[in-house]
Amino acid sequence: MSNTPTTSHDDLELEDLPLDDATAFFEGPVHELWRHLVPPEMTQEEVAYLADAFGPSAIHADKTPKRLLDLGSGAGRHALGLARRGFHVTAVDLSAAELGHLAAAAKPGKLPVTTVTHDLRDLESFQPTAPFDGAYCFGNTLAYFPPDELAVFLDDLARLVVPGGRIVLDDAMVAESFLSHFEEQIDLAAGGVRVTIDNDYDIEASRVVGTYAFTDATGATTTRRYAHWCLTTRELLDLVDQAGFDVEALADDTDGSDYGLGSPRLILVASRRTAAS
């Protein structure tokens, strides 16, 4: 059910457009936009925050590198930065194209990054050789999961992290953040690509369905359509707890400031209990 008037884009009614498969969502102009949209300084700050969360060193006492799991890595802006600091990063994403960009960027410097094309909705079938020292999920990846699938994802994640190992989850789509700043239309531009996002909030499902119109320098337009679910912070905390993690911090940015109503994003740090539930 939509709570906004019906609008049209490229002669199509928004509610009649199908949702795109995540496999190909970030290809083409979408990749170019996001690659240029995030300033390098932001990536550097996030990498420093993650390195500190998984530190104080990237190396174990036996001189082996700590193993981190990057969930929904995309083109790997965090994975590359952490690998340069000495961590061994396994980057998992559904998009083979994005992982191809990551592998190409890691190759010249022989950075310790392993790429795995895998659907995070089936994390149970992901079988690494050993559990990871830590895991992180940055961007809006968590919001791609409806609540029941997110619960399964977090349960499976507990299996992949050593007892005491930390997870860091980043989510700008929690209700206290996203709904405080909800806009029916958003315009962005970077890297020679412009995007207009038409948002339609589905009250019954507590999700926002966005129709993205990307226009490149030639004037060609690519339309993508995707949905993000909005959980309250309390709902997310319950799922994290039920999966066997103890929450250590709720921040609204990499400077560590406390999360609150209207904060632009939530960064959640938690550690896996000795016996994951």
Q: Domain-by-domain residue ranges, the chain? A: 8-20+177-229, 30-172+232-272
Assign residue 63 a region: left if phi > 0, alpha if psi is -120 to 50, beta otherwise? Answer: left
pLDDT, tens only, 131-158? 999 999 998 899 999 999 999 999 999 9
Q: Is the pLDDT of residue 16 over 70?
A: no
Q: Is the pLDDT of residue 61 over 50?
A: yes
Which CATH number does 8-20+177-229 carry?
A: 2.20.25
pLDDT confidence of residue 257: 95
Q: Is the pLDDT of residue 6 over 60?
A: no
Cα(208)–Cα(115) distance, rounded to whole angstroms? 30
| Beta-strand pair 113-117/88-93 | parallel
Cα(268)–Cα(240) distance, rounded to whole angstroms? 10
Angle, alpha carbons 256-31-250 (nearest 5°): 15
pLDDT, tens only, 215-237? 999 999 999 898 999 999 999 99
Are the C-beta atoms of residues 268 and 250 closer than 8 Å to each other? Answer: yes
pLDDT confidence of residue 4: 38
pLDDT confidence of residue 275: 64
pLDDT, tens only, 30-40? 888 888 899 99
CA neighbor of 29 nearest in space, from 211, 213, 153, 174: 213
DSSP string of 73-118?
-TT-HHHHHHHHTT-EEEEEES-HHHHHHHHHHHTTTT--EEEEE-
- Name the helix (H) or strand (E) containing 221: strand 221-229
| Beta-strand pair 266-272/245-251 | antiparallel
Provide the whole-model pTM: 0.90
Which CATH number does 30-172+232-272 carry?
A: 3.40.50.150
